Amino acid sequence: ASGHPGSITSVHAGSCALAFEQMSLMIRESGAGGGLRMNEIKWLLSVVVDVLVQFDRDERGRFISEILYEPRRQRLGRWDQQAAAQPLSEGQRAAWGAA
């Protein structure tokens, strides 16, 4: 535990995987992350980010189109490609009011 209740942020990207890449790049380009390699940054993000939610928009409005979450670890999927982002099914989209 880090001693604080957590935080939330947003990043513009076309998918959960691309959002993770975008966050990695932003950290790498910052002063604090400049000395880290990309694989180190991605590993650190996988440790501290619990869930990624991708929103999309169509003629009916915004909706959740993808969720990246690894429930066995209650952490973001590993970077060995064993856990991957899954688009929501039509049933899941309907449950979220997006179908």
- Whether residue 97 is predicted with pLDDT greater than 70 in this model: the reply is no
Could you tell me the pLDDT band of residue 99, with boundaries at 50, 70 and 90? very low
Residue 89 is classified by DSSP as: P
Segment 18-43, tens digit of pLDDT: 998 999 999 999 988 889 999 899 88
Enter the tokens of residue 9: 């942020």
Segment 4-15, tens digit of pLDDT: 777 788 999 998
Q: Give the ranges where 1-99 is alpha helix by DSSP (H).
A: 16-29, 38-48, 90-95
pLDDT for res 7 = 79
Please, which residues have CB within 8 angstroms of residue 77's CB and are 6 or more apart in sequence?
46, 68, 69, 70, 83, 84, 85
pLDDT for res 9 = 85
- Whether residue 88 is predicted with pLDDT greater than 90 in this model: the reply is no
